[in-house]
């Protein structure tokens, strides 16, 4: 099994946003504690989180969706390098255009933040009975707490969307969500 350090280094040098260590450890623990075997990930980037999750247990199967061709081809190489082709199915497409039919114990949303509600609504149908939808970056580097301090219009709009998503989760009648102040802010939503 190779080291994941080169991927961390690549992400840092090329400004690829990958999950923070604390958030990753949280998800790894969740997978172990809940004996998760099937995972759907929205947003692969270079395959860092996918590879980490697949390495927990060889019986874990992951479908991961990435729309950026460059990211996709880097992820493909990395997954191959780690010998995880059998455990990971990598899909090149916009996650909003993919038709996924299976049920998953864990759905990890880690893609375009402005579309979180859409991803949630689309993929909740693919959740297995006791499964969970986990979302990352809910603090968006602390910006969601003080939106009034943000100067950039685009950033302000994005932060507003993330806060809308949080409200959507808090008021959701179908799902009960717990928010964790780990990494960049993580939520775990389970069917109520």
Ligand X SMILES: C[S@@+](CC[C@H](N)C(=O)[O-])C[C@H]1O[C@@H](n2cnc3c(N)ncnc32)[C@H](O)[C@@H]1O
Interface residues with ligand X (CB under 6 A) are 17-19, 43, 45, 48-49, 65-68, 71, 94-96, 110-112, 115
Q: Residue 21 CB, nearest distance to ligand X (Å)?
A: 11
Of the pair 123, 175, the CB lying nearest ligand X is at: 123
- Beta-bridge partners for 24: none
List the one residue out of 73, 17, 91, 80 whose CA is nearest residue 54. Answer: 80
List the one residue out of 25, 57, 61, 19 whose CA is nearest residue 40. Answer: 61
Distance (Å, rounded) from C-alpha 192 to C-alpha 174? 6
Of the pair 48, 175, the CB lying nearest ligand X is at: 48
Of the pair 114, 191, the CB lying nearest ligand X is at: 114
Q: Which residue is nearest to ligand X (CB)?
A: 43
Q: Residue 174 CB, nearest distance to ligand X (Å)?
A: 22
Sequence-ordered alpha helix ranges (H) in the chain = 5-13, 21-33, 48-54, 69-81, 116-123, 153-170
Q: Residue 14 CB, nearest distance to ligand X (Å)?
A: 11
């Amino acid at each position: 099994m190779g080291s994941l350090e080169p991927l961390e280094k690549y992400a840092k040098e090329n400004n690829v946003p990958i999950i923070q260590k604390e958030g990753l450890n949280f998800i790894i623990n969740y997978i172990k504690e809940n004996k998760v075997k099937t995972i759907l990930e929205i947003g692969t980037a270079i395959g860092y989180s996918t590879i980490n999750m697949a390495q927990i247990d060889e019986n874990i199967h992951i479908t991961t969706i990435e729309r950026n061709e460059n990211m996709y081809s880097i992820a493909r190489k990395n997954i191959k390098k780690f010998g995880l082709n059998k455990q990971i199915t990598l899909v090149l497409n916009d996650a909003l255009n993919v038709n996924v039919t299976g049920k998953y114990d864990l759905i990890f949303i880690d893609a375009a933040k402005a579309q979180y509600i859409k991803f949630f609504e689309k993929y909740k149908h693919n959740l297995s009975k006791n499964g969970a939808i986990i979302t990352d970056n809910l603090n968006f580097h602390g910006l969601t707490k003080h939106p009034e301090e943000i100067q950039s219009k685009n950033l302000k709009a994005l932060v507003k969307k993330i806060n809308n998503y949080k409200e959507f989760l808090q008021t959701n009648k179908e799902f009960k969500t717990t928010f964790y102040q780990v990494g960049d802010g993580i939520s775990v939503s389970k069917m109520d």
